[in-house]
Amino acid sequence: MTPVLEVKNLSTHFMTRRGALKAVDDVSFTVGQREIVGLVGESGSGKSITGFSILGLVDPPGRVVNGQILFNGDDLLKMSPAAMRTIRGKRIAMIFQDPMMTLNPVLSVGTQMIETVQAHDRVSRAEARQRSRDALGLVGIPSPEERLDSYPHQFSGGMRQRVAIAIALLHRPDLIIADEPTTALDVTIQSQILFEIKRLAGEFGMALIWISHDLGVVAALADRIMVMYAGRIVEAGRVDGVLTEPRHPYTSGLLSAVPAAVPRGEPLRPIPGFAPSPLSRPSGCAFRDRCARATDICATEPMLEIAAGREFRCFHPHLWSAA
């Protein structure tokens, strides 16, 4: 089965006065049909810019400087803006952390949804309204007919995020890119949204890229996980494998920094230091300054190793007896 999305050697740089800021640096990955992929990393690791790059949403001074983004075989980077518009929102949709970024505060939810339907399909207003109502119902909004006439501020945070998801679903896209969509929500509401997303993705056969800093959320939701650090994917593989037997020291560092990793009351084990500034990253492995396993060889670029469905970039990966 051909993958929905194939990203090859993607590099997105921001041209600043102090030089090129390599937000995304030679990133390659694929997303299979109906696959849920979690993209995790700390702030500034380039995970959101990766998502924006796929949809062509990087504004100057940022620019995709290299790579291919093959969506169902077509390179999105070679497409005209007009052709891109027929894909964005129709075949690939995006959900943001803050639904107020997606929603226009002065238009009713119904108006915005009908507009979204009619932007891609030549249908009557009545039919567009019908489709909007169905979408709201799908994501679990009570009395969708009445809610179509409500304005965004009349919804709670969790309901607003449901509206944003409903808008993303309007055209039954092949791929949804979700950028930290539950980060701002409370635990019980987050759980409801994760439940709905998982159900809907399965029901409509959508692929999903779930960008998050929360390993717990990705662990519960995704089939595969990609860990980003300083603009690169440092490790990728099945969720079960990566989280139980991480190969890259950064992945294991993230996993042991959470409070649950040590007995109650004992000191936590943070990764020493902090992420390097994207303008002055060390040569070779960007993690080497913080890594306990680093040696001289880490000053050279680690190649991507692929072993048993796992990819990682490290000269000194963790070894697991089973592997």
Binding interface with other proteins (CB under 8 A): 42-43, 156-159, 186-192, 194-195, 198, 213-217, 219-220, 239-240, 243, 253-255, 257-260, 262, 264-265, 267-271, 274-275
CB of 221 to other proteins, least distance (A): 8
Output 6 or 35, the one with its CB closest to other proteins: 35
Looking at the Cβ atoms of 60 and 263, the one nearer to other proteins is: 263
The secondary structure of residue 277, as a DSSP letter, is P
- How many CB atoms sit inside 10 A of residue 323's CB? 12
CB of 229 to other proteins, least distance (A): 11
Q: To the nearest whole angstrom, how small is the minimum distance from the Cβ of residue 22 to other proteins?
A: 18
Q: Which residues pair with 313 in a beta bridge?
A: 304
Q: How far is the CB of 112 from other proteins (least distance, A)?
A: 22
Pick the closer one to other proteins by CB: 26 or 196.
Answer: 196
- 13: which 2 tokens? 């740089």
Q: Could you tell me the smallest distance in angstroms from the CB atom of residue 273 to other proteins?
A: 9
* Cα pseudo-dihedral 203, 206, 207, 210, rounded to 10: -70
Q: Provide the minimum distance between the beta carbon of 266 and other proteins in the complex, in angstroms, as a whole number.
A: 9
Determine contact, residues 9/28, Cβ cutoff 8 Å: yes
Beta carbon nearer to other proteins, 205 or 270: 270
Task: Output 100 or 257, the one with its CB closest to other proteins.
Answer: 257
Rank residues 274 and 306 by Cβ distance to other proteins and give the closer one.
274
Residue of 84, 91, 72, 77 whose CA lies nearest to 32: 72
Q: Smallest distance, Å, CB 274 to other proteins?
A: 6
List, in sequence order, every beta strand (DSSP E) within the chain: 5-16, 19-31, 36-40, 62-71, 74-75, 92-95, 175-179, 207-212, 224-229, 232-238, 304-307, 310-313
Query: Hey, what are 192's tokens?
Result: 């409801």
The Cα–Cα gap between 141 and 162 comes to 7
DSSP code string of 168-224: HHTT--SEEEEESTTTTS-HHHHHHHHHHHHHHHHHHT-EEEEEES-HHHHHHH-SE
Of 110 and 158, CB closest to other proteins? 158
Residue type, 34: R
